[in-house]
Amino acid sequence: MYIIHAFLSVKREQREHFLRDVQPLIKYSQAEEGNIRYELYEQSSADNQFIMVEEWKSKEAIEFHFQTKHFVEFGEQSKDYMAAPPQIKQFAVQAEHD
């Protein structure tokens, strides 16, 4: 299993556009084969700071996700929303718990 944390800093004036346009990305990503979790959270101590938390069954599922229409389109749209480049952290789960 793989976990991705994408830290997103959104321009204040683009917040509502971002929140509207990210919804299809979340919906379609959650429906993808190999997706376990795909959720957006807002940082409670800082305005317009978000984290996308993703869990995937395999690297192949992640690679497929990066090629999907909804991911590519959101990547293009989000250029207008971001106050800074996204910070992406990827983790491989070494042992799963029961």
Encode pLDDT of 20-43 as tens digits: 999 999 999 999 999 999 999 999
The model's confidence at residue 95, banded by pLDDT at 50, 70 and 90, is: confident
pTM reported for the whole predicted model: 0.88
- Residue bearing tokens 């509207």: 20
Please provide the DSSP assignment of 33-87 as one string: TTEEEEEEEE-TTSTTEEEEEEEES-HHHHHHHHHSHHHHHHHHHHTTTBSS--E
Encode pLDDT of 77-91 as tens digits: 998 999 999 999 999
> Going from the N-terminus, what domains does the chain have, and what CATH number goes with each?
2-92 (3.30.70.100)
The model's confidence at residue 98, banded by pLDDT at 50, 70 and 90, is: low
